[in-house]
Amino acid sequence: MTTTLTPPQESTVASFANYVLQRKKEEALVFFREAYTAQQKREYDEAVEKYRRSIEIYPTAEAHTFLGWTYSFLGDLDAAILECRKAIELDPEFGNPYNDIGAYLIAQGNPVSAIPYLQDALNSKRYRAFHFAHFNLARAFESQGDLLNAFRHYKKAIEIEPTYELALQSLANLKRHKLN
């Protein structure tokens, strides 16, 4: 007697594929949350491990960006920039990695290279922390002696986030020491 198997319905295959994908996303999210918790506790090695595990299961722009952020706390700005570039490859509309690369380049003493990334952050569809990009643009311009643009971007950061202490202090210092 021969048994004939009926091929699964295409909708069944699609449903199963969606189920598997959803489970991967959920598992990756568990590792992402654990990584973020470890990062907040300054347990950076554990955070790196958990972010990597999250990325291994289901890579996201967010996980790569946060892994980069963790590398920055460890002092490895080159690795941080690399992770942010991977994030941009996955989701060019996610603004955080552009801002972060800009901040890392400023920290490396390369503010000129930071400016296009920071402008890309401001133009990203998935970005909400515009005050950070304006603040970092101000820092980049100030380090180049472009005080007018620095002033403009510090002011914009403060307009967006009136309690942003770093921007308030930086603007006050700029006014006090350089614009008088």
Cα separation, 167 vs 173, whole angstroms: 10
Residues 147, 178: contact at Cβ < 8 Å? yes
Cα separation, 47 vs 104, whole angstroms: 19
Cα separation, 96 vs 69, whole angstroms: 10
- Write out pLDDT tens, residues 131-173: 999 999 999 999 999 999 999 999 999 999 999 999 999 999 9
- Residue 85, number of CB atoms within 10 A of its CB: 13
Q: Which of 8-17, 58-67, 71-80 has the lowest mean pLDDT?
A: 8-17
Cα separation, 22 vs 58, whole angstroms: 10
Asked if pLDDT for residue 86 goes beyond 80, the answer is yes
Asked if pLDDT for residue 7 goes beyond 60, the answer is no
Q: Give the chain's domains with CATH numbers.
A: 17-96 (1.25.40.10)
Residue 136 structure tokens: 């970092």
- In angstroms, the Cα distances linking 110 to 27, 90, 143 are 38, 25, 10
Cα separation, 72 vs 76, whole angstroms: 5
How high is the mean pLDDT of the chain? Answer: 93
Cα separation, 43 vs 71, whole angstroms: 12
Cα separation, 53 vs 45, whole angstroms: 12
